[in-house]
Structure 1
Amino acid sequence: MRMYETIYIVQPDLGDEEIKALSAKVQDIIAGMNGEFKRLEDWGARKLAYPINKSARGRYFYLRFDGDSGLIAELERRLRLDDKVLRYQSVKLEQEVVAAAAAPVKAAEEGVEEAVEAPAAEAQAETTTEE
């Protein structure tokens, strides 16, 4: 199973019952396709970068789950058919990306420290040879 995250934007004027129904529907899709639901976060209503369907604001939801490509296809198909959903985007996550990105930064910091120490050591060596 692969790790995925989906962010979807719904109409900002939806009631609590409609939002709960949509969230339950998304969780049912994941469970029905043998996926593993991890987390659903409500990021609240925010101003959109540009109007979508004459709406300047949207309510953002973050969904984290494990599954396969068939699950993504079905989830996106159902989100596309729902009129309450303005936009959505799914992304496959990779564990190695986080660790690999952190390692070069640390190596680069060590390289900077070594570069700073090297001229100081050369300057000290020059002063001892001149005496």
Structure 2
Amino acid sequence: MSRMYETIYIVQPDLGDEEIKALSAKVQDVIASMNGDFKRLEDWGTRKLAYPINKNPRGRYFYLRFDADAPLIAELERRLRLDDKVIRYQSVKLEQEVVAPAAAPVKSAEEGTEEVAAAATEAPAETTTTEE
């Protein structure tokens, strides 16, 4: 059973376009070869890191979205770990039905409490967030 995943990986900021294309192609090949469903790859650009990693104060971020199963995640992370160009990576499993509940307009303190309590009980029990 395949699930939705997102992987954010950070590469060295001084890589050339050819090296980045080769790395992106390698990541997509891993997904395709293991019957994953590739959805999206976004280049978020070069950003300052919270702390230097391997003496790099900056890193180039990439966001990868795909549907896969656990062995594909293990293989993808193994390949990212072995690649010297990749500084950091993190994969997160996304929940199927994550819908943020809309904020209920509160008219007054007495009237709004029932609406807010009802909205809180309908919220999904498990959400996944990623912070760096």
- With normalisation by structure 2, the TM-score equals 0.79
Percentage of pairs with the same residue: 81
Cα displacement (A) at 1:53: 0.3
The runs of 5 or more residues in structure 2 that have no matched partner are: 113-132
Cα displacement (A) at 1:95: 2.8
Matched residues, number: 111
Cα displacement (A) at 1:96: 1.9
Which residue in 2 is equivalent to 1:86?
87
Say if 2:103 is the partner of 1:113: no
Aligned counterparts of 1:63 and 1:51: Cα–Cα separation in 2 = 23
Q: Say what the alpha-carbon RMSD is for the aligned residues.
A: 1.6
Query: Does the residue aligned with 1:95 lie in a helix, a strand or coil?
Result: coil
Highest Rg: 1 or 2?
1
Higher helix share: 1
Cα displacement (A) at 1:4: 0.2
Letter in 1 for 2:31: I
Which residue in 2 is equivalent to 1:45?
46
The runs of 5 or more residues in structure 1 that have no matched partner are: 119-131
Query: Does the residue aligned with 2:64 lie in a helix, a strand or coil?
Result: strand
Which residue in 2 is equivalent to 1:59?
60
Aligned counterparts of 1:92 and 1:117: Cα–Cα separation in 2 = 38
Which residue in 2 is equivalent to 1:13?
14
Superposed structure 1 runs of 4+ greater than 2 Å apart: 112-118
Which residue in 2 is equivalent to 1:121?
none
Which residue in 2 is equivalent to 1:69?
70
Aligned counterparts of 1:5 and 1:35: Cα–Cα separation in 2 = 12
Cα displacement (A) at 1:32: 0.7
Aligned counterparts of 2:41 and 2:20: Cα–Cα separation in 1 = 12
Letter in 2 for 1:79: L
Which residue in 2 is equivalent to 1:127?
none
Aligned counterparts of 1:67 and 1:30: Cα–Cα separation in 2 = 8
Cα displacement (A) at 1:116: 5.7
